[in-house]
């Protein structure tokens, strides 16, 4: 019996998606296979509208997909858009001060995070946010997460073209 590769599973899922959730789930499963993830979310940016919206969550009870929040067009946003800065914290202590909901994140068994901006054409499309147990995102896994950028661009472009962001 031949095993289907994670990339083939991803492309098959995008070829047959029916909902916004299907698109996010395809990338979530690829992230699980590539680097591992305990909590996975995607947030789409609408810079012209001045807001972001969570478009996918692997745990909709903890982090539901609803509502919007304003974009803070600050130096961090500029750095994420122009430099494609990837935030990596591999411990609860490293996350302290960056996550207002850190206690809740820890209660979910997470203590490391990667927040990866997804940029195309010089515009921030959104971010992919991966959380796992403390110490999970080793240098090798941080390098491997970069393999998700092109698939994430495809996902965000699909979301923008087919759904209201």
Torsion of CA 131, 154, 56, 130, to 10 degrees: 0
Q: How far apart are CA 105 and CA 87, in angstroms?
A: 16
Q: What is the 3-state secondary structure (H, E, C) of 99-163?
A: CCCHHHHHHCCCCEEEEEEEEECCEEEEEEEEEECCCCCCHHHHHHHHHHHHHHHHHHHHHHHHC
In this predicted structure, what is the pLDDT of residue 77?
A: 87
pLDDT category, 125, cuts 50, 70, 90? very high
pLDDT category, 72, cuts 50, 70, 90? confident
pLDDT for residue 66 is more than 90: no
- Mean pLDDT rounded to a whole number for the chain: 94
Q: What is the mean pLDDT of residues 61-81?
A: 89
Q: How far apart are CA 121 and CA 133, in angstroms?
A: 34
pLDDT for residue 110 is more than 80: yes
Q: Which residue has the tokens 């302290």?
A: 96
Q: How far apart are CA 156 and CA 158, in angstroms?
A: 5
Domains of the chain: 6-162 (3.30.450.40)
- pLDDT of 97-108, one tens digit each? 898 999 999 999
């Amino acid at each position: 019996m031949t095993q289907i590769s994670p990339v083939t599973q991803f492309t098959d899922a995008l070829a047959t998606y029916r909902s916004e959730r299907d698109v996010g789930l395809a990338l979530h499963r690829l992230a699980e296979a590539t680097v591992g993830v305990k909590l996975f979310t995607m947030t789409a940016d609408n810079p012209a509208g001045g807001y972001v919206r969570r478009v996918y969550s692997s745990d909709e009870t903890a982090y539901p997909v609803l509502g919007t929040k304003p974009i803070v067009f600050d130096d961090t946003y500029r750095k994420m858009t122009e430099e494609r800065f990837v935030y990596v914290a591999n411990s609860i202590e490293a996350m302290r001060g960056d996550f207002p909901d850190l206690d809740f994140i820890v209660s979910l068994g997470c203590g490391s995070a990667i927040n990866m901006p997804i940029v195309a054409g010089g515009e921030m499309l959104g971010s992919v946010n991966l959380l796992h147990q403390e110490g999970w995102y080793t240098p090798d896994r941080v390098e491997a997460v970069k393999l998700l950028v092109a698939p994430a661009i495809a996902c965000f472009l699909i979301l923008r073209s087919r759904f209201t962001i």
